[in-house]
Amino acid sequence: MLPRSDVQAGFAPDLNSFAELIRSLDGAALARPTRCDGWTVADVAAHIAGSMADVVAGRLEGAGSPEWTARQVDERRGRTASELADEVAGSAKVAEDLLAAFDDDAWAGPAPAGVAGTLGDGVLALWYDAYLHADDIRQAVGMASVRGPGLRASVVHVADVLTTNGWGPATVALDGLEEISVSGGSKERRITGDPLAFVLAATGRADPATIGLGPDVNIYAV
């Protein structure tokens, strides 16, 4: 788990960057297909806008389910880039204020409304989702990937999910990041290389064989 201070410092800025990314796109870019099966750029943007709006409003029933995400996309179909960006930016401000109110006990306590894990786990998952979907959009419209705190957060989240899934043991020792133990860690099995390549492979967006791993590393393939 990342320190609470790191998540508080990085999450809202990444949401605002997501909003500005969407705001920069024209109608043709919004209509482009993404590597998220069946979703256009507009659909990906609508999902992030909708999920953040739901979270800050406490609408968490079914959170993370296909039905939950499909509703978010359907409700925002036809909205402009500016409308979607404004919604994300508004949620980012609310999220920033909420995060500032949490202390260590709340952070380590259970997530609300039956969401699995701690409150901190839930916020980290939201940050990962926003970072990775921003990369999905950049890939779809021909922009370069952006690294930084969101990538580190995504690696930590993926490692946490792999541990929950029973994958490993292994030690994730990627370029420029601290080492992370998966399922207790392993001196014999060390995963090295590019952090973004690892995240893409572990989320079904790239062939894991390119980084020397098997298909079981895909956190969505359980």
Q: Which of 144, 135, 56, 142 is nearest to 95 (CA)?
A: 56
What pLDDT, on the 0 to 100 scale, is given for residue 114?
A: 62
More confident residue, 194 or 58: 194
Q: Tell me the domain boundaries of the chain.
A: 4-146, 151-217
What number is the average pLDDT over the span 5-24? 96
* pTM listed for this prediction: 0.95
Determine the pLDDT at residue 222: 61
Query: Is 4-146 CATH 3.30.70.420?
Result: no
Residue 142: which of 57, 47, 53, 24 has the closest Cα? 24
Q: Where are the alpha helices (DSSP H) in 24-118?
A: 27-30, 41-57, 66-75, 81-101, 104-108
Residue 111 has pLDDT above 90, yes or no: no
Q: Does domain 151-217 have CATH number 3.30.1050?
A: yes
Tell me which of 154 and 58 has the higher pLDDT: 154
Please give the backbone phi and psi of residue 14, each rounded to the nearest 5 degrees, phi first.
Answer: -70, -35
pLDDT, tens digit, for every residue of 40-99?
A: 999 999 999 999 999 999 888 888 889 999 999 999 999 999 999 999 999 999 999 989
User: What is the pLDDT of the chain when averaged over all its residues?
Assistant: 94
